[in-house]
Structure 1
Amino acid sequence: MTRGPAVRIERQVDWIDTDAAGHYHHSSVIRWAEAAEAELLRRVGAPDLTPTVPRVRYEVDYLDRLYFRDTALVDLWVDKVGTSSLRYGFEVTRAGHGPAARGAMTCVLVDPGTGASAPWPADLARRLGGAPGG
Structure 2
Amino acid sequence: MRTPNASATLRSRIEWIDTDAAGIYHNSTVTRLVESAEASLARERSLDGYFPVAPRVRFEADFEAPLFFGQEVITTVTVTELGRSSMVFAFEVWGEEFDGAPRVRAAKGRYVTVHLDRSGPGRPQSAPWPSDWVDRLTAS
SS of the residue corresponding to residue 24 of structure 1 reads coil
What is the Cα-based RMSD across aligned positions, in Å? 1.6
Name which one, 1 or 2, has greater alpha-carbon Rg: 2
SS of the residue corresponding to residue 19 of structure 1 reads coil
Amino acid at match of 2:25: Y
Amino acid at match of 1:128: L
Q: Is the 8 A contact 1:70 1:95 kept in 2?
A: yes
SS of the residue corresponding to residue 38 of structure 1 reads helix
Equivalence for 2:116: 110
Equivalence for 2:59: 58
Equivalent of 2:131 in 114, 122, 128: 122
What CA deviation, in whole Å up to 9, does each residue of 1:50-88 have, x standing for no partner?
A: 111011010000011100000110011111111100111
Amino acid at match of 1:73: I
Amino acid at match of 1:38: A
Equivalence for 2:6: 5
Q: What's the CA shift for 1:21? A: 4.7
Superposition map of 1:1-134 within 5 A = 4-96=5-97, 97-114=103-120, 115-129=124-138
TM-score by length of 2: 0.85
SS of the residue corresponding to residue 77 of structure 2 reads strand
The aligned length equals 129
TM-score by length of 1: 0.89
Gaps of 5+ in 2: 98-102
Q: Is the 8 A contact 1:109 1:117 kept in 2?
A: yes
Gaps of 5+ in 1: none
Using the alignment, how far apart are the partners of 2:19 and 2:87 within structure 1?
29
